[in-house]
Amino acid sequence: MQLRTLFLFAFCLPLLLVAQVEEINPPDYIKTITFKSGNTQQGELPILRLNESFFLEFDALLATEPDFYYTIEHYNYDWTKSNLVKMEYMKGFDDYRIVDYYNSYNAYQLYSHYELRIPNEQTRGLTKSGNYVISIYDDDRELVFTRKFMIYEQRVGVGVAVKRSRDVKSIAGKQSVDIVINTNSLNINNPLQTINTLIIQNNNLRTAIKNVKPQYTLGKELVYRYTNETSFWAGNEFRFFENKDVRASNVGVQFVDLKDIYHNYLFVNSERGRRPYTYNPDINGNFLVTAIDVEDVSIEADYTMTHFALSYPKLTDGSKIYIYGNFNNYALEEMNRMVFNRDENYYQASFKLKQGFYNYKYVVVDSKGNLDEGRISGDFWQTENNYKVLVYYRDLGARYDKLIGFGEASSVNISN
């Protein structure tokens, strides 16, 4: 039995070592997780410059002022654990308590607002570019949630252009991302093997395109002009609402009711996939905490129970409908799954959100777990989307993947 156990452990160990890390989403009492820096806006995917200071902020909807601790780990391009030890990518130490927190003020929903600044007295800085995961633990050392973030050093130029699909079969519903990487004075060995790119649409890592290699090389330029490999379904403009005035209806809010906290009931939405495209400015899935007549929205903005409703035929094939956006890290979980109301003949869901301006989208996940973002909203080549491109490099013999370039573009100027 001991030999058999030892054999199974030896067989499984390589699999454990190359396992890709997945983000752990928080329990229901943790809300409004954001990164802030000089270059990153609230609600965006955290892509940070090397040596740039940043904040991780979140709210705990509890009145007990719980303690939280943090650790930071370095990862490779494919989100497998890198070979670096902490002293190689971190000045100082982690695994300390988050000491900066403030209690809510003049709000029906009691909560504590936590702020972690990097660098701080214990963690004096992160010294390597690449992928990172920050993990938050409670006082019992139980993992509460994790978040991915990226740190880049601009060693190469990254040109990004958004085009209509070159495939006539999908020209009406897809957008293609062309990339030109200028290596400048950086001597890159064997780019087909050492360069990796990640293409992200609207800050959503779930739908990002990875493992695309340069199509060809022109001097110091690596060129990506694929037909299908770098194309995305274009989707539709995000739906949105605003409740900066918690006591009155605002954009997208049909009516307000005060119970234990304020309840905001949004207008019933309908399917848009079979309707003509209509331009409606959005913030590409992001959100912004904002409230009127307050000095500090981090502790004075209130939480409301937000009620969503979607007029859509009941799905009988095992598919499920979810509401997501950057406000919940594009998570597909029970909390944001919609339930069909037979009496009202529509889908509905409700959960707490902090006052602000929110983008959101209805998506379908079939019985096999396949995500379809366009089934309800539709896919239109005219849709304004944001695309970010990250360039990773591991030189021959190197021990980790550097993030050496970052570029982005909007499809507002899409061309053929």
**CATH number, domain with residue 183:** 2.60.40
Only one residue has tokens 């992200």, namely 200
Q: What is the DSSP string of 53-83?
A: -EEEEEEE--SS---EEEEEEEE-TTSPBPS
Q: Does residue 332 form part of some domain?
A: yes
Asked whether residue 48 falls in the same domain as residue 138, the answer is yes
pTM of the model: 0.91
pLDDT at residue 3, rounded to an integer: 43
Query: Which stretches of the chain score pLDDT less than 70?
Result: 1-18, 39-43
Domain containing residue 72: CATH number: 2.60.40.2550
Asked whether residue 228 falls in the same domain as residue 243, the answer is no
Distance in angstroms (rounded) separating the CA atoms of residues 269 and 286: 19
Q: Does residue 5 form part of some domain?
A: no
pLDDT at residue 43, rounded to an integer: 63
Q: Could you tell me which of 403, 375, 371 has the C-alpha nearest to residue 204?
A: 371
pLDDT at residue 39, rounded to an integer: 67
Q: Does residue 198 form part of some domain?
A: yes
Residues spanned by the domain of 171: 157-235+382-413
Asked whether residue 402 falls in the same domain as residue 360, the answer is no
In degrees and rounded to multiples of 5, residue 138 shows phi and psi of: -95, -175
Asked whether residue 246 falls in the same domain as residue 332, the answer is yes
| Residue that finishes a domain, picked among 152, 171, 186 | 152
Q: Does residue 11 form part of some domain?
A: no
Asked whether residue 47 falls in the same domain as residue 101, the answer is yes
pLDDT in tens, 386-407: 999 999 999 988 999 999 999 9
Distance in angstroms (rounded) separating the CA atoms of residues 272 and 221: 41
pLDDT at residue 42, rounded to an integer: 63
Asked whether residue 286 falls in the same domain as residue 254, the answer is yes
Distance in angstroms (rounded) separating the CA atoms of residues 363 and 347: 12
Helix, strand, or coil (residue 199): strand
pLDDT in tens, 212-255: 999 998 889 999 999 999 999 999 999 999 999 988 889 999 99
